[in-house]
Structure 1
Amino acid sequence: MPSASPTAPPAPAPQAPATGASRRRPRRLGPGDRLFLAVVIGVPLLALLVFVWLPALASMGLSFTSWDGIYLSDIHWVGLDNYHQILTNYPPFWPAVRHNVIWLLFTALLPTPFGIFLAYQLDRKLRFTRVYQTAIFLPMVLSLAVVGLIWEIIYNPDTGLLDGILNAAAPGHHVDWLGDPDLNLWAVLVASAWRHTGYIMILYLAGLKGVDPALKEAAALDGANGRQTFLKVVFPALKPVNVIILVVTVMESLRAFDVVYVLGGGVGSKPGMELLSLLITDNIIGESSHIGYGSALAVVLLLVSLAAIGTFLVQNFRKEDR
């Protein structure tokens, strides 16, 4: 009997043609989407161009001119004369630079570490932590102008809170905190530190909440105490926050204006209160406008800010790449 021939394998089933669902193409933006993106991206860029970059470029151009700010026909090209006047200390440029440096050192050495210390304490789950956070951060909610008004009341030599306390301890003793050239800058620094401390505390407290608890537990198992854990483990892990705090501290010191303007009585720098920002304001909107000179001061302040922040960021990014 002949053997049965092997059964032929079944023919593969014909594949269905690819449907539109299986070969979808990226969705194209419709007119509504394009309009939305144009508004969301274009409006902030336009505002940045109109209110930031165009005035900055105009200031750079005006820094090489002499102009009283009234008629455009009165603009005269003077070249580098304004920058030469800056270096020859007219008006008092170098005292303003010295005061800005003092402002930077004071802010970096007192309110910034104190804000970090408060954040570290509040991160330890103390009782009434929410109340403490709100009380310390409250000055940050207020504008710098309002902060200046509050401290103007405190520093009032006749009815101020501070002089009232001193007068109770030593009757008849009054201190002109804002009129004494040896004291007024330090008085303004205390007012600024009152606000800056709460800002640093919130920034660092947010960073501490993001630290992996396993790092602290590992340090505790190795026998590290709380201080060693913070300095050796937590603080290095918060390097991005530390960079932000350093940049904020430098920028706050360079652009200090509002509190000094309010406590100093408006336009016209008091002796002992000279700052670069006040010199710029005095020369641009003061009684005798020197817009060219004020613009040159603004350019110098811009270059100093870019150099300070840019140098630090470049060095920091290079270390991370290595």
Structure 2
Amino acid sequence: MPLSQKPGGGPPDHQPEPHTGPAPARTGPSGAGPPRRGTRRLRRFNRRDLAVVTVLLGIPVLLDIAVVWGPTLASVALSFTSWDGIGEITWVGTENYENLFTNYPAFWPAARHNLLWLAFLGLLATPFGLLLAVLIDRGVRFSRFYQSTLYMPVVLSLAVVGFIAQLIFSRDQGALNAVLGDTETPTDWLGDPDLNLWMILLTAAWRHTGYVMILYLAGLKAVDPSLKEAAAIDGASEAQTFFRVVLPTLRPVNVIVGVITVIEALRAFDIVYAVNKGRNGLELLSVLVTDNIIGEAARIGFGSAIAVVLLLFSLGFVITFLVQEIRGEKNR
């Protein structure tokens, strides 16, 4: 019997031959061609996902509004009122600001001290922190020890730094007078209005320098070494390489350091309050805000006006600095 026929004379079974040619092209859902690789189907959020996102984003936003923007807007509104915190709130318009600028003798010295604080940290402490970062980045011996030692003041609060300043600059039992051997007529480093501000500025710079050093050190580690090698091949000196190649690449770090410097200078409070309650040559705007708001004769409206001035100082410097940095980035 032929193999192609079934028993009983039926028609032969169809035996498809194995396919030996190329596999047929796979088409997409529309039949227009092969599907694209790497494309992912967008997944819609279900109710559970929306609830999670709402909680994760909503809680921080509410906390930010309640802790930051709420008191800020409240201070702006209260600055146009007269209120002692208990009685009735009375609208006085711009009277608080007029008294602040014309009839409050402590305001202008405090404002000058804040500007001097900003200039000292920005022009001395910040460049010195950059210098330390460059020296450590070059791979000096015991670099880890230097980093830890210089960064140690950053983990201390400004109040603790103020107590340390008292131990060092105290008139009778201070370490500085003991080292200088000035025991008969000791120098009153913290009591003399001509000296105490500079001593506190040195102490604040001691803390600020370590913070700036760590930020710049992290930025220097991210600089591409090939840029330095290319500058060296072109015959640039180390100073030219730093100022023309390395420093422009640190622009994002410069923005962060600049903003932090402005904030540190204008929000300074703890260190001077720990020394002498912010008086006798150490007046700052933050201290004036506290003195007018807290106490039996609280003038919350007047203190809020000082806080608004301090806020405008901070925003003015920060916005100006950011605008200059953005313009410089566009001109590159």
Q: Find the partner of 2:45 among 29, 47, 64.
A: 29
Query: 1:118/1:89 Cα in 2 relative to 1: closer, same or farther (>3 Å)?
Result: farther
Shift of 1:91: 4.2
Measured after TM superposition, the shift of residue 13 of structure 1 is: 7.1
Choose which of 309, 319, 322 in structure 1 pairs with 2:328: 319
Per-residue deviation at 1:14?
10
Partners of 1:188 and 1:260 within 8 A in 2: yes
| Structure-2 residue corresponding to 1:3 | none
Among 149, 156, 163, which residue is 2:177 paired with? Answer: 163
Instruction: Tell me which residue corresponds to 1:58.
Output: 74
Residue in 2 aligned with 1:295? 304
1:223-262 correspondence runs (5 A): 223-262=235-274
**Is 1:270 aligned to 2:286, yes or no?**
no
1:110 is paired with a residue whose SS is helix
Aligned AA for 1:18?
P
Aligned counterparts of 2:45 and 2:304: Cα–Cα separation in 1? 45
Change (3 A) 1:213 1:16: closer
TM-score normalized by structure 1?
0.88
Structure 1 residues 139, 16: closer, same or farther in 2, change over 3 A?
A: closer
Number of residue equivalences: 303
CA distance in 2, matches of 1:177, 1:33: 61
Paired residues for 1:276-291 under 5 Å: 276-291=285-300
- Unaligned stretches of 5+ residues in structure 2: 1-22
Change in 2 beyond 3 A, CA 1:171/1:257 = closer
Match of 2:202 in 1: 190
- Residues 89 and 316 (structure 1), Cα distance of their counterparts in 2 relative to 1, 3 Å cut: farther
- For 1:124 and 1:118, locate their aligned partners in 2 and report how far apart those are by CA, in whole Å: 10
The corresponding residue for 1:125 is 139
Q: Does 1:306 align with 2:289?
A: no
Q: What is aligned with 1:114?
A: 128
The whole-number CA distance in structure 2 between the counterparts of 1:140 and 1:98 is 26
User: What is the distance in 2 between the residues matched to 1:290 and 1:221?
Assistant: 66
Judged with a 3 Å threshold, the aligned counterparts in structure 2 of structure 1 residues 151 and 17 are, in CA distance, closer, same or farther, namely: closer
Are 1:218 and 2:257 counterparts?
no
- The C-alpha deviation readout for 1:190-212, integer Å capped at 9, x for no partner, is 11011000001001001100111
Taking the aligned partners of 1:100 and 1:321, their CA distance within structure 2 comes to 32
- The corresponding residue for 2:29 is 18
Letter matched to residue 269 of structure 2:
F
Q: Is the 8 A contact 1:166 1:173 kept in 2?
A: no
Residues 225 and 281 (structure 1 numbering): CA distance in 2 closer, same or farther, change over 3 Å?
same
Quote the residue 2:96 is aligned against: 82
Amino acid at match of 1:176: D
Question: What do residues 198-236 of structure 1 show as CA deviations (whole Å, max 9, x unaligned)?
Answer: 001001001100111011111111222222211221112
Q: Tell me if structure 2 keeps the 8 A contact 1:166–1:174.
A: no
Residue 42, structure 1, aligned to residue 58, structure 2: yes
CA contact (8 A) 2:82 2:299 kept: yes
Aligned to 1:100: 114
- TM-score (ref. length: structure 2): 0.85
**Contact 2:258 / 2:321 at 8 angstroms: preserved in 1?**
no
Query: Structure 2 counterpart of 1:163, which letter?
Result: N
Question: Which amino acid in 1 is paired with 2:280?
Answer: P
The C-alpha deviation readout for 1:136-184, integer Å capped at 9, x for no partner, is 00100111111112222222222221121122xx441312222111111
Contact 1:207 / 1:238 at 8 angstroms: preserved in 2? yes
From 79, 83, 92, give the equivalent of 1:67: 83
Corresponding residue number in structure 1 for 2:6? none
Same amino acid, percent of matched pairs:
56
1:230 partner letter = F
Structure 1: stretches of 5+ with no match in the other structure: 1-11
Contact 1:111 1:193 in 2 (8 A): yes
Distance 1:13 1:33 in 2: 41
C-alpha root-mean-square deviation of aligned residues, in Å?
A: 2.2
The residue number in structure 1 matching 2:4 is: none
Contact 2:168 2:176 survives alignment (8 Å) = yes
Match of 2:221 in 1: 209
Alpha-carbon distance between aligned partners in 2 of 1:125 and 1:24, rounded to the nearest angstrom: 47
Change (3 A) 1:154 1:64: same
- CA apart distance, 1:244: 1.7
Compared with structure 1, are the counterparts of its residues 24 and 156 closer, same or farther at alpha carbon in structure 2 (3 Å cutoff)? Answer: closer
